[in-house]
Structure 1
Amino acid sequence: MENMQAKEAALQFGKGKPVIQVLKGGLIHHTYKASYDEQGEQVVLQCINQTMFHHPEDIIHNYQLVYEAVHGKEGITIPPIIPAKDGKLYWIDKYNQFWRAIHFVEGSYTALVPKDAAAARLTANCFANFTSALASVELNLLRPVIPRFHDLAMRYEQFERAVLTATQQRLLTATHVIAELRQRHHLVEFYNEVGRRPDLFLQRVMHHDCKLSNILLDVNTHKAICPVDLDTVMPGLYFSDLGDMIRSMACSVDENSTDWEAIAIRPDFYDAIVEGYSSGMGDQLTSEELKHLHKAGLLMVYMQSLRFITDHLNNDVYYQISYPEQNLNRALNQLLLLEKLEEYVPVTVD
């Protein structure tokens, strides 16, 4: 049934009979590659997850705005959206599902995780180049697809509300994590201070989902072509992209690991990420942002631990789990990572 719907959608975006191939790796949307028998045209076809994105037209609006801003610029190329037969940049099927198609970039591939520090640097540099290339975009024209997505103060408030409403059983399992997160409230205070200084900590066009798997790589040179999965492109602060790359790439294990002893910061990866991002941003970072650059990882790891423990206390309503205490373990994983990061980058460094 699913492939039939994809075929019906594909007919709206290309000429001839489409051959549908499921593209794996994405966790949010249903994604396919549609190849047409006329002119050899190929598109990436997606059915947008409307549970997470309530206004998918905003995704299209932002994508088109970004595409027009970088089109023709040297160093970064974003594949264009393919209009449907009715001229719109999307198509809604009889089940009220929202479909879009983007040009398939020939000679490209994606990789899941960086195999070495050089790959981590490439990732950070690519996302920094992306933000840098969009410096002229008027931020008020971008629509907030997920309002307050990386608002640390809001995430902390959600955490404290969850503590008040959680069952006694959930609270007892989370006592240690709750106490340790409360002890680090100074990170929330720093975030609030950043918000009071918009002239020193600038809002920019941020990707908000920075990882190697969201970059197209050239099959011959293995260099970055461009970022993809631009659904969370919104105005944001420097730590959103830099910090999340530190969180996801500088750690020795992923966020689902329960091998507590194995959790560590990989210094070569950390340094490569910071250097790659800084060089990609060039002189766009303010002196105050440069001074507090190492806060980025601390803020994002702390925020993710807050989000995981909040979901555990709320009976696992947001993140998918495969066993009952997975969100608790994810929160502890991130807390341990935060401790390792604090050792590697002392809070007093700034």
Structure 2
Amino acid sequence: MTTDILKRFSLNTDEVQIQPFGSGLINHTWLVKNGPKQYILQRINTQVFTLPQNIDNNISRLATYLHKHSPGYLFTTPINTTDHKGLAEHDNASYRLFGFVEGSHSYTVVEDKELAYEAARQFGKFTRLLAGFDIDQLSITLPDFHNLSLRYSQFEKAVEGASAERLQKARSSINILIHNRDIVTAFENILHNPAFKKRVTHHDTKISNVLFDSNNKGLCVIDLDTVMPGYFISDVGDMMRTYLSPAGEEETDFSKIDIREDYFDAIVKGYLGEMAEELTTTEKNYFIYAGKFMIYMQALRFLADYLNNDIYYGARYPGHNLNRTINQITLLQKLQQKEPALSQLVTGALQHI
């Protein structure tokens, strides 16, 4: 089956080797070796991305803009099929093929603050280079993906419909999230504040979506399925949520969760090094809020799923999503505790950029 797809991209399947690749949870990805050349083949998850053509159109339009305005920027685009399309349809599934960026590698964990800096710089550069792009040309590939108001509403409905047993076990977490409702209010104010600008935003800034060279310098960002119009808080917030703590979201020893100030400083300097002139003064004042926004939203999503009997994320053990919730609440509280010190780091970085 896979070889039939590869033929659509003009690959010689007589000498092809195919093996699973990467750690992504949404799309299925394979490394394809075809003689001396290597490729990345992906099957788009149409349960998540219901209109794959919108993704292909977005990437094509961004590529055209960058080729004209920033021709030296490394922007990964799919290889066209024999009928000049970016997607190959096969058995009601959509596939695409990318050339492998030779000499590149990626990480699944932020191993040091230099990686955090390089990743933040790459995501900032991506948005800065596309500052002149007309965002109305972009399709929404995941409606309401980072709509915090919607996520809070879903959380409230989950509380209303939850079993007595799960409500009892989650009561403390429910109360903490309700107590932090002001994070939602701030988001709703942002939506009506002209000082906040919608830009080309990646929306999924985990470390695995950056390619690095042999010297661990950032090359480019990848996995562009979630690129849509959005606010900078989505990208900065997701970096804070996934880079700052030495313990990931699956950790159940909550004492291991912390905010590493040197990693925060790296994100600030990397992102603002590219975006300082693009962001408004008001937006810069919301830099730390970006972290609260994303961490809080993920806590809401985990807890809503727990109260809904784990129908979205699933659960590998009883209470899995409740533990994920407590993990994210702990991270949020650590961020709030360190906010004064982190604010000084933002101020200091802006003074030297």
Alignment TM-score, normalising by the size of structure 2: 0.93
* 1:88 counterpart (76, 85, 89): 85
The correspondence of residues 324-343 of structure 1 with structure 2, limited to 5 A, is 324-343=318-337
Equivalent residue for 1:263?
257
Equivalent residue for 1:32?
30
Q: Calculate percent identity across the aligned residue pairs.
A: 38
Q: Distance in 2 between matches of 1:104 and 1:278?
A: 29
Change (3 A) 1:321 1:76: farther
Q: Deviations over 1:58-113 (max 9, x none)?
A: 111111122222226266311221111122211111x2111111122111111222
Q: What's the RMSD between the two structures over aligned residues? A: 1.7
Q: Report if the CA contact (8 A) 1:302-1:338 is conserved.
A: yes
Q: Report if the CA contact (8 A) 2:107-2:207 is conserved.
A: yes
Q: Deviations over 1:261-289 (max 9, x none)?
A: 11111111111112211111130000110
Asked if 1:285 is matched to 2:279, the reply is: yes
The correspondence of residues 3-42 of structure 1 with structure 2, limited to 5 A, is 5-17=1-13, 18-37=16-35, 40-42=36-38
Q: Deviations over 1:12-35 (max 9, x none)?
A: 113312322221311111111223
Once the two structures are TM-superposed, the CA of residue 119 in structure 1 deviates from its matched residue by: 1.1
What secondary structure sits across from 1:283 in the alignment? coil
* 1:205 counterpart (197, 200, 207): 200
Q: Distance in 1 between matches of 2:2 and 2:314?
A: 25
Alignment TM-score, normalising by the size of structure 1: 0.93
* 1:145 counterpart (114, 130, 141): 141
State the AA in 2 paired with 1:278: L
Q: Distance in 2 between matches of 1:239 and 1:344?
A: 18
Q: Distance in 1 between matches of 2:50 and 2:58?
A: 14
**Moved segments of 4+, more than 3 Å:** 346-350
State the AA in 2 paired with 1:170: R
State the AA in 2 paired with 1:111: Y
Q: Report if the CA contact (8 A) 1:218-1:224 is conserved.
A: yes
Q: Distance in 2 between matches of 1:136 and 1:118?
A: 29
Equivalent residue for 1:104?
100
Q: Distance in 2 between matches of 1:222 and 1:251?
A: 21
Q: Distance in 2 between matches of 1:183 and 1:286?
A: 29
What secondary structure sits across from 2:196 in the alignment? coil
Q: Distance in 1 between matches of 2:264 and 2:216?
A: 21
Equivalent residue for 2:48?
52
Q: Distance in 2 between matches of 1:69 and 1:41?
A: 28
Equivalent residue for 1:64?
60
Q: Distance in 1 between matches of 2:269 and 2:37?
A: 39
Asked if 1:156 is matched to 2:152, the reply is: yes
What secondary structure sits across from 1:101 in the alignment? strand
Equivalent residue for 2:211?
216
What secondary structure sits across from 1:109 in the alignment? coil
State the AA in 2 paired with 1:338: L
User: Structure 1 unaligned runs (5+)?
Assistant: none
Q: Distance in 2 between matches of 1:80 and 1:191?
A: 33
State the AA in 1 paired with 2:76: P
What secondary structure sits across from 2:277 in the alignment? helix
Q: Distance in 2 between matches of 1:264 and 1:347?
A: 14
User: Structure 2 unaligned runs (5+)?
Assistant: 345-353
Q: Report if the CA contact (8 A) 1:16-1:36 is conserved.
A: yes
Equivalent residue for 2:292?
298
Once the two structures are TM-superposed, the CA of residue 202 in structure 1 deviates from its matched residue by: 0.6
Q: Distance in 1 between matches of 2:320 and 2:176?
A: 18
Equivalent residue for 1:174?
170
Once the two structures are TM-superposed, the CA of residue 349 in structure 1 deviates from its matched residue by: 6.1
Question: Higher mean Cα deviation, 157-166 or 67-76?
Answer: 67-76
Aligned length: 341
Q: Deviations over 1:214-238 (max 9, x none)?
A: 111112x321111011110011111
Q: Report if the CA contact (8 A) 2:197-2:231 is conserved.
A: yes
Once the two structures are TM-superposed, the CA of residue 348 in structure 1 deviates from its matched residue by: 12
Q: Report if the CA contact (8 A) 2:288-2:342 is conserved.
A: no
